[in-house]
A = this chain, B = another copy of it.
Amino acid sequence: MSVRYLTAKLAQQIDEELMSATGAFSLDQLMELAGLACAQTLATVYSKEKYPRVLVCCGPGNQGGDGLVAARHLGMFGYKPTIWMPKPGSKDIYKRLKTQCDNMKIQTLAPADDTSTLRDVLARSDVILDAIFGFSFKPPVRAPFDTALPLISDSGLPIVSVDIPSGWDVEKGNAEGVGLNPEVLISLTAPKEGVKTFAGRHFLGGRFVPKSMEKFDLNLPEYLGFDQIVELPRAGTQKL
């Protein structure tokens, strides 16, 4: 049995249950483990020797928080991350996560009203962590991300996307053609329907789904040893 691909609605439901009184997780805990898994995925594929300069692109929602956590861990791993976060979330947790990055001497670009800042930093980056939109994204892509996505694509830099490549529909994928084309994807908790045909390297993170969630028939693959991530077979290939 292969892993279950989630609809946007089911992804939302599982997320809510994890953080309900029943699941008892705090957002801080889940974000920490998710962000760590994102950082480990990037570090698995792109070495800090060849790809030291990571541009971490953070959206305004929870996925932006995962990105901030990942940026901090990447700093710990010896990368040189820079954060682009033009619309910081208003929740207290984003401010705390941002301060933690400041304490790691990680630069956050000032929100700019034009796209020159992003263009500049793309020119001096080696790899991108795309933590812009997550499973609660609904089209269309709004400013400033509408102009940012083409810039990021045109940079030609390798991209690691979190959960769903930014601009893709959570269920229909990149049908509209406006989304990023990452080389690597890190799905959190379980992959979403929209990435069923994703042809790049695909990892799964979020080794926190308890046995009590077996009712959702997620058919999660086995994580090895004490790894926080596991690679999924590529679309169209046999199980690894």
Contact residues of A with B, CB < 8 Å? 21-26, 28-29, 32-33, 36, 39-40, 43-44, 72-73, 76-77, 95-97, 99-100, 103-105, 207-208, 210-213, 223, 225-226
Give Cα A39 to B211, complex, Å. Answer: 18
Say whether A43 contacts B225, CB under 8 Å.
Answer: yes
Give Cα A104 to B36, complex, Å. Answer: 21
Say whether A103 contacts B73, CB under 8 Å.
Answer: no
Say whether A39 contacts B226, CB under 8 Å.
Answer: yes
The residue on B at minimum CB distance from A25 is B100
> Would you list 26 pairs from A and B whose C-beta atoms are within 8 A, ordered by A residue?
A21-B99, A23-B100, A23-B103, A24-B95, A24-B103, A25-B96, A26-B26, A26-B96, A28-B32, A29-B29, A29-B32, A33-B36, A40-B226, A43-B225, A72-B208, A73-B207, A76-B208, A76-B223, A77-B225, A100-B210, A103-B210, A103-B211, A103-B212, A103-B213, A104-B210, A104-B211
Q: Kindly provide the distance from the CB of A118 to the nearest chain B CB, expressed in whole angstroms.
A: 26
B-side contacts of A25, CB under 8 Å = 96, 100
Give Cα A212 to B73, complex, Å. Answer: 15
Contact for A26 among B28, B44, B76, B210, CB less than 8 A:
B28
Give Cα A29 to B104, complex, Å. Answer: 16
B-side contacts of A26, CB under 8 Å = 26, 28, 96
Say whether B211 contacts A24, CB under 8 Å.
Answer: no
B-side contacts of A97, CB under 8 Å = 24
Give Cα A39 to B22, complex, Å. Answer: 24
Q: A32-B29, A226-B40 are in contact. Are A24 and B77 (CB under 8 A)?
A: no
**Known pairs A76-B208, A76-B223, A103-B210 / 8 extra A-B pairs, C-beta < 8 Å:** A22-B99, A23-B100, A24-B99, A26-B96, A40-B226, A43-B226, A73-B226, A103-B213
